[in-house]
Amino acid sequence: MARDLFQKCYEYTQADEYKAQGIYPYFHPLGSRQDVEVIMDGGRRIMLGSNNYLGLTVCPEVVEAAERAVEVYGTGCSGSRFLNGTPEMHLELEKELATFLGKEDVLTFSTGFQSNLGIISALVGMHDYVICDMENHASIYDGCRLSFGKLSRYRHSDMADLEAKLQRVPDGYGILIVTDGVFSMGGDIAKLPEICALAEKYGARVMVDDAHALGVIGRGGRGTASHFGLEDKVDIYMGTFSKSLASLGGFMAADAKVVDFVRHSSRPFIFSASIPPACCAAALAALRYLEKHPELVERLSQLSSYARAGLKARGLNIRESQTPIVPIFTYDPVKTLRMTTELYRRGVYVNASLPPATPPNECLLRTSYMASHTEALLDEAMDIIRDVVKSYE
């Protein structure tokens, strides 16, 4: 007799246990726009847990562009880009992104997660290796699993370990090194100069996931390669629209021949409906706004530095970064959830980062900042964070 497929579902109790303890931190209903202050569960919360880095989800130009797109194109494309789902606006967005990033071509996907699935699975074949930083985003690993290639992982930002992995690749195999540009949990930046040097030494190609770097670092927010002046050394940029560009979707930017291969080979791309018109228009408007207002990137950097200094001055142990992602070490999972719940009760929303998103006993309160925050609002939030974290010491 077969084992009941659903048995694992009936035996899963962790979420119910956290709910019974009053420390379940997920699925809080949002009753307002995604902004520096939001209404969640009917109450005011200072938002320190969003990836809306430039604050453009409430930008009038972006909102109006989305509204106009619905009037012109309707609410959906009802098909894949491969078939009937390519409104002219999609091509316009791809062209302007390619120009902004200095690459020959861009291909858009329906989500950021799908972008990594679609790029990696299309490019990495049976006689290829894909080599990943251990702290890469889950979508990168799922893209590797969907491919027919061989996966090898190196210790986080450990260039000696990366070289050891490269040395073990047999002759005649293709190699793709994939790294987050800005790591989503820790907020640290990849060691891209060393990665590119090793790629050149061993004949590998380099792909950078810039989901948390676009609009955040680099000249005018152009990302990790721009940050290091390595635009000609990074073969593929991947990015999302759901963070700095205030919408939904993702993209790859690369040489035209590489993009065209993925366009005609990627199953996640070919068999998924395209980005809805409102999302496409919002991303395009946000990109144009960023190009006109590069000072937003500098303001974001200033506020992030202000938050890092403020948290340290309040005696909190943070994980060092140069980005708007500033994690606070809390170590223990249950204690982390209790802190998150108490912060939420007192009006500050942060994200609890637990295994497998973090190593065991390295749990974090992941705080993240927007260019539209004010110093006064951050001071209010940081005072509350200090009081809550210190109460658990």
Q: Which residues are catalytic?
A: 184, 212, 243
With contact defined as beta carbons under 8 Å apart, do 26 and 40 qualify?
no
Q: Would you call the peptide bond into 356 cis, given omega within 30 degrees of 0 as the criterion?
A: yes
Which of 393, 47, 369, 106 lies closest to 250, judged by CA? 106
Residues 6 or more apart in contact with residue 258 via CB below 8 angstroms = 123, 235, 236
User: Residue 161, SS3?
Assistant: helix
Tokens (6 digits) for 181: 């540009």
Tokens (6 digits) for 12: 């899963």
Dihedral sign, Cα of residue 70, residue 73, residue 79, residue 80: negative
CA 351 vs CA 235, 330, 340: distances in Å: 33, 12, 7
DSSP state of 76: -
Q: What is the largest distance, in Å, between two alpha-carbon atoms of the chain?
A: 65
Residues 6 or more apart in contact with residue 244 via CB below 8 angstroms = 51, 52, 53, 54, 56, 214, 215, 216, 221, 286, 290
